[in-house]
Structure 1
């Protein structure tokens, strides 16, 4: 199965607050409308390669969401990933043959603010929240361009480059990913994933260059490190999605290595974006309070 990243879901208590945080970083999102579940609504940041970030919250602040409820309530930020498939039923059958727990295909829809109704089918893989380790699969019934929209004007990033998932058990997560998608042995290593809030934090990782996917778990046996990843993987999924961006123009100063959306165990989220020779970085913990189909 070709893992074509369709989108990454970013959850928060307030859709307006999420959109404002992106706008403050120079990234304008597009209102996508409410889902057919009647609970959630969303906005998109569509990138030139067709992948996109989906910002999602509940229409009514504090309402219980059918999925990612904890992620929305705690402003977890990036919490799930989806891959694009051509045939939902065939994908579900193939996954069942590989011994993967499957739910679906399930039909969904939403009405855009301009009145256009977009429809798709989802296939959920594995247990837990959709897309928390194994991605959920999406197949369009109506044209995909109507669901994903046009690339956001003036956006610097060009593609979702890598999806990284924090897991408490690296070996188990690696085995599940390899079994589900028939992946080769990953490139293993260690990484320094320190942040100002968590200095000195290191992880072990399994990485597949193609598709650009990685799983990470704590390096060492410190209870603090284990607790940090356990918190990420159960509450806000410990997500980071790296975004490919264009190279700066000649003579511009390269000030950062990449643009990332990342969650932290604190429940806040940080978006760092880089556009043509300058770095813009914003941190937000949305001030107000769901889950979505896509």
Structure 2
């Protein structure tokens, strides 16, 4: 492959590759791009033409038919992680930076605008979802009041404004995302874990975090629930029992379930994990998903 990504962060093992893959609801998959460096977390543009992913602290776009990636100008931001979402109208990419803040960047590229707030105690933002009307972002914050590390779910206006806490738990929570009707936020949590690291999928009302409901109950470690635009499916990245967190380089399953947690089934099994499907990568027509696998040759 002639295209070179910036080198930053984790690297692939010798002989390993990153495969940007599209899969339909029947499990038929197609690799549209292969890289010999880490690429992560594809988003699908609302016009169905483009995927956005990150690599080496930068963002790139690529046609859903494949081809050569194109860098997206993010101004002074060169330390982006794999938490990014697109506005419903496709005009803006909201990103998380390793400086701990959230920014809005024009989809066409340009000067970033900071969305997040400065806090008196350590508070690191990790973005995950945007409301259907594009007005509100949901994220997890790593808080360290008095040195105690806590990871909880919040929302913030996309234009900037006050943070709203939705969970106040001492166990880790991650991956919050709005349902297409805006009523629910889905997320993974260790709230019901009998051992550290055993995350399951939950949902709660998006207004104040009420009506908390657990949706998965099995031995897998379940992360990153993503709602299809038509509201009929939730995709989940499932790790082997005993996994702690969401590491790379594991035998994982991409599973689908109904919004209430029913009808759970395996869509695909592959070598992946961190970076595979950290953000919502459903196609706008709810017929396909994009993900990254990291097979070892």
TM value normalised by structure 1? 0.35
Instruction: Report which structure shows greater RCO (CA 8 Å, sep ≥6).
Output: 1
TM value normalised by structure 2? 0.35
Structure with higher strand content = 2
Structure with higher helix content = 1
